[in-house]
């Protein structure tokens, strides 16, 4: 005979596995430290690339001025400024990444916990039946 | 209200039944709108400026993930800008990549938000975006809104300055680049909008999650006020020449759209709140349960009792109180509640009858009397 409660539970589990669960399971494979470190690393890479693009646009923007004053420019000071902006940008971007992915990690863990609770419940239903 | 709820239920029912066709059609329409805006506003590369291409791309988008609408729109705009000016195309590509690298990784699942931001900004009503996003999404979607606003601003700058860019020769390459970069970096209106919209999304999201009555309505109002105040402060600080009347109208429209979303996503009946308190071994629970506003579909089915057509069927009111008569079953469906009621065969007289709630109570009363007799 059909056990309605069991079917509801199984549907819930299947829907979770197919939708939100897919993303959460990927998060659940990591320890918190590993997960956040991985994203911080990605942030450093993508942030560096984005910063280089921004510097490229800046250079194009001021190309005429730079060419006109090429011999009088203090390249060391310019490099220091660029590095300083780079560090500020990466720290700010890293902080946003840290907060964002920490929240996402906890949310995913909560979802997975609920999923496993439902699995246990389903398992106990099978035991009861047998 | 009851009619509206019935219509909503019907809409949801139809959507659930025809989801496999409705979703691709809606995606097609959305993609077509987005690509038409890009192609229609620009259209500098005549090879790409034709409806057939937009239709084909839209058709492809209807079966692909939403991110492809953004991708095709970006590629199409890049191609048109390339036809206008190589330098501007290079800067546009760099800005697209910066947006993708910095912002889009936080909001990869919110492509729809980005698409709607661009479409609504093109329609001059971007104020709807933060309110609705705050209501139905999460604060992460603000990154998609930022990408949308910057992307639209860039395209708008190219479109409004297309003639100037076209007439500038190759020798004015730097001027073209400055034109585009200035439209983003020195654009205080854009900055004010980004700050105001981001803040509004957070405010709406936080308020609508509060455990207070009418949280969605209060969230909408708070978001609209916060948005307006921030836009006005920005206007005062940076002299952005923002149209206050336009902003107010836009926010009123946003409230109306927000109410529509509330009706479809969070329609609950505050008049029937139940506050429950109970406990287990570890906790005390204070639960506030608010019933959803639902209405039964107005279909009433009455099962034919028999094929005889004798006598006058009449209404259940006119019952012939003869207990000797055989009883048969009328199955009545009022909304979701299926009830079985027993009545006399002559009552139905072999005809289909519609039985209302009042008549049912009369029938019940009738049979109670019979039993007593």
pLDDT tens digits, B91-104 = 999 999 999 998 88
Measured between beta carbons, the chain A residues lying within 8 angstroms of B97 are 49-50, 53
DSSP states along B42-76 = ---STTT-SHHHHHHHHHHHTTS-THHHHHHHHHH
Q: Nearest CB to B181: which of A49, A57, A100?
A: A57
Q: Which residue segment(s) compose the domain that A84 sits in?
A: 4-129
Which residue spans within chain B are E strands per DSSP? 274-279, 284-289, 327-334, 337-344
8 Å CB contact of A50 and B105: no
Whole-number percent of chain B with pLDDT over 70: 81
pLDDT tens digits, B306-355 = 755 554 544 454 444 554 444 444 444 444 444 444 444 444 444 445 55
Of residues A14 and B203, the one with the higher pLDDT is B203
CB atoms within 10 A of CB B204: 30
Indicate the range of A91-105, B7-21, B202-216, B314-328 predicted with least confidence.
Answer: B314-328
* CA–CA dist B8, B204 (Å, integer): 24
Shortest CA distance from B182: residue in chain A: A61
- Whole-prediction pTM value? 0.74
Per-residue pLDDT of chain A (130 residues; tens, 9 = 90+): 567 777 778 888 888 887 778 888 888 888 888 999 999 999 999 999 999 999 999 988 888 888 888 888 888 888 999 999 999 999 999 999 999 999 989 988 888 888 888 888 888 888 887 7
Interface with chain B: mutation pick from A26, A100, A101, highest number of B CBs within 10 Å:
A100
ipTM: 0.79
8 Å CB contact of A61 and B140: no
CA distances from A3 to A6, A7, A126, A128, B264 (A): 5, 6, 11, 12, 32
Identify whether the C-beta of residue B106 lies closer than 8 Å to the C-beta of residue B140. yes
pLDDT tens digits, B280-309 = 777 787 777 777 777 666 566 677 777 555
Measured in residues, chain B has a length of: 373
Q: Dmax of chain B from CA atoms?
A: 108
Shortest CA distance from B179: residue in chain A: A61
CA distance B195 to chain A (A): 16
Q: Report helix, strand or coil for B297.
A: coil
Measured between beta carbons, the chain B residues lying within 8 angstroms of A100 are 106, 140
CA distances from B231 to A74, B65, B113 (A): 41, 34, 21
Q: At what angle do helices B141-160 and B188-208 cross, to 10 degrees?
A: 150
Q: Is the Cβ of A38 closer than 8 Å to some Cβ of chain B?
A: no
8 Å CB contact of B102 and A57: no
Domain count, chain A: 1
CA distances from B191 to A58, B70, B188, B231 (A): 19, 22, 5, 10
Quick one: pLDDT at residue B329? 42
Shortest CA distance from A55: residue in chain B: B94
């Amino acid at each position: 005979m059909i056990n309605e409660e069991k079917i509801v539970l199984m549907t819930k589990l299947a829907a979770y596995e197919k939708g939100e669960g897919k993303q959460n399971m990927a998060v659940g494979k990591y320890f918190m430290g590993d997960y956040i470190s991985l994203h911080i690393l990605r942030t450093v890479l993508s942030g560096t690339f984005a910063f280089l693009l921004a510097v490229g646009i800046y250079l194009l923007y001021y190309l005429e001025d730079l060419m006109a004053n090429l011999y009088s420019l203090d390249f060391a000071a310019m490099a220091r400024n660029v590095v300083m902006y780079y560090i500020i940008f990466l720290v700010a971007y890293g902080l946003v990444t840290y907060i964002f992915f920490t929240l996402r990690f906890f949310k995913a863990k909560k979802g997975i916990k609920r999923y496993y609770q439902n699995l246990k419940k389903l398992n106990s239903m099978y035991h009861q039946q047998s | 209200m009851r009619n509206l709820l019935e219509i909503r239920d019907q809409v949801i029912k139809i959507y659930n039944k025809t989801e496999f066709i409705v979703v691709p059609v809606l995606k097609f329409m959305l993609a077509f709108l987005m690509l038409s805006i890009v192609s229609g506003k620009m259209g500098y590369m005549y090879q790409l400026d034709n409806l057939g291409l937009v239709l084909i791309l839209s058709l492809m988008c209807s079966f692909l993930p939403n991110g492809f609408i953004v991708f095709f729109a970006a590629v199409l705009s890049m191609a048109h800008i390339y036809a206008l000016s190589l330098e501007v195309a290079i800067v546009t590509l760099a800005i697209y990549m910066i947006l993708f690298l910095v912002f889009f990784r936080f909001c990869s699942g919110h492509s729809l938000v980005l698409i709607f931001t661009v479409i609504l900004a093109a329609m001059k009503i971007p104020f709807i975006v933060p309110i609705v996003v705050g209501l139905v999404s999460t604060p992460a979607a603000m990154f998609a809104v930022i990408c949308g606003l910057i992307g639209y601003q860039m395209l708008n700058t190219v479109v409004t300055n297309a003639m100037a860019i076209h007439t500038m020769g190759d020798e004015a390459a730097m001027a073209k680049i400055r034109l585009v970069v200035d439209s983003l970096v020195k654009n205080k209106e854009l900055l004010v909008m980004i700050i105001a919209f981001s803040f509004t999304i957070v405010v709406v999201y936080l308020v609508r999650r509060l455990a207070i009555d009418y949280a969605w309505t209060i969230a909408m109002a708070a978001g609209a006020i916060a948005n307006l105040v921030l836009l006005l402060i920005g206007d005062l600080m940076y002299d952005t020449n923002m149209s206050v009347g336009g902003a107010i109208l836009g926010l009123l429209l946003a409230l109306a759209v927000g109410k529509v979303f509330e009706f479809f996503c969070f329609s609950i009946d505050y008049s029937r709140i139940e506050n429950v308190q109970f406990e287990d071994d570890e906790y005390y629970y204070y639960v506030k349960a608010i019933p959803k506003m639902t209405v039964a579909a107005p279909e009433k089915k009455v099962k034919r009792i028999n094929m005889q057509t004798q006598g006058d069927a009449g209404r259940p009111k006119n019952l012939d109180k003869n207990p000797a008569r055989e009883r048969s079953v009328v199955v009545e469906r009022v909304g979701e509640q299926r009830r079985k009621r027993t009545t006399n065969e002559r009552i139905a007289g072999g005809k289909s009858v519609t039985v209302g709630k009042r008549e049912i109570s009369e029938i019940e009363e009738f049979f109670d009397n019979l039993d007593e007799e």
